[in-house]
Amino acid sequence: MNLFAVTGNPILHSKSPNIFNTVFQKDNIDAAYFRLAADDAEEAIHLLKSLSLKGMNVTAPYKADVMPYLDEIDPEAEKINAVNTIVNINGKLKGYNTDHIGVTESFKDNGIQLKNKKCIIIGAGGAGRAAVYGLHKAGAEVMIIDIAEDVAKKVAGEFNCTAKPYHDLEDCVRTSDIIVYAVDAATVKVLKEEWLNPEQVIYDVNYKPSFLTELAKEKGCKMVTGAEMLINQAMPGFKYYMGYDADKQIMWNGFNTGISNKKKNTIALIGFMGTGKTSVGKALAQMIDYQFIDLDVEIEKKSGMRISDIFKIKGETGFRKIEQEVLKQVISKTKVILSCGGGAVINPDHRQILKENAIVVWLYNSVVTSVTRGNDGTRPLLNVEKPIEAAEKLFNSRIGFYADTADLLVNTENKSIEKIAEKIYAENNKTFGSKG
């Protein structure tokens, strides 16, 4: 199975896994795409290599930070100074930027010609740079404005366009054909209704509905959304990964699924042995006042036997049957942190139950660390002469199942239990806006 991921901070909100996995399923491709929560760009690249990912998408704030860790960078990404697509070619990492394509193709999809159009780009960060590059390349007359005027001037100098002082914002908006909002529309609201007219186009790089949506509707402006950009930047990214063009409508189908808010009241922790599922689960449950349930403990209660004895008497098949019965019982509860056994994802029915009923977090560390932490003599599958070799073989047989099931991967290597729990809480909170 080929593995892909998207990284950033935060990242649980990302729609990219839904987009890519929908295409993989439609085209019967043996691949899985998940979210990777990294503390910084260095950790993201380390995990890419450690997991042998075939590709990784990058979002804020790591698009520039990952560049020093790559073996080769496409000239357009070098010019924009941002990478949003990394391809692993036999161990060599090459970075691309497809954001500028996402911008220009979104206008094309809406029948909007860019040549000689007067465009004001509000925001000189990474999204703004990509928009400047794409629009300038398409022949538009580009102006850029930012509250940090020195940054706007720097970007304008690099791309041979015009920087405007921030006090000219109103005039720039009033006199532009296209307004590109390349700042966070949820927190930065600098556009005013009286500056707009029905002939203008508003382009919001953010794909969540914002005040701009209502503003455009009230003024009769044409609205181009960040959702369109997300799909249009994913199209060339998919081709870099897979070598052929994806069906755009299938990508839209994936975008419209997303993470269901109904799942947020249960968090299931999966992963190989020794990754800290029980310790992290208990700490997280205490942090957010949820009930902690250890699936293996519940199995032992139901069967009246230790896990090792169930394996001896009933074999792995018998154990998995009991595991499924117990999983169905506990997953129906709300406000639960559920710690699953290392092999809970082997059965496809188990994976589906988890995906449909919980936010699934994959805790990951190296196999060597797992064996060091977890080989206490109670692991029936590791009671062999060479446990590390056995563990590597076992992990490699399961990695695709973890990737297929997980909403989010969190690295536990060399991190405290509290820090890991806080990371999971922060991702969940930033996505759903509450503890629950």
Tokens of 302: 């139901």
Per the structure block, which two tokens stand in for 91? 């161990």
Binning the chain into helix, strand and coil, the percentages to the nearest 5 are 50, 20, 35
If one counts every other C-beta atom within 10 angstroms of the C-beta of residue 178, the result is 23
Provide the H-helix boundaries in 39-110: 41-50, 75-80, 99-109
3-state class of 417 per DSSP? helix
Which residues, other chains included, contact 305 with Cβ-Cβ below 8 Å and sequence gap of 6+?
Answer: 313
Contact 182, 205 (CB under 8 A): yes
Q: Are strands 359-364 and 266-270 parallel, antiparallel or unpaired?
A: parallel
**Which residue of the set 26, 49, 54, 63 is catalytic?**
63
Give the residue among 96, 103, 89 at the shortest CA–CA distance from 49. Answer: 89
Is 63 known to be catalytic?
yes
3-class secondary structure per residue, 385-407:
CCHHHHHHHHHHHHHHHHHHHCC
User: Minimal CA–CA distance to 156: which of 169, 142, 170?
Assistant: 142
Give the strand order in the sheet containing 141-145: 162-164, 141-145, 118-122, 178-181, 201-204, 222-224
From residue 59, give the alpha-carbon distance in Å to each of 40, 87, 91, 207, 248.
12, 15, 22, 13, 21
Of the candidates 304, 272, 295, 436, the residue with the CA atom closest to the CA atom of residue 368: 272
Residues 272, 276: Cα–Cα separation, whole Å: 9
Catalytic residue positions, numbered: 63
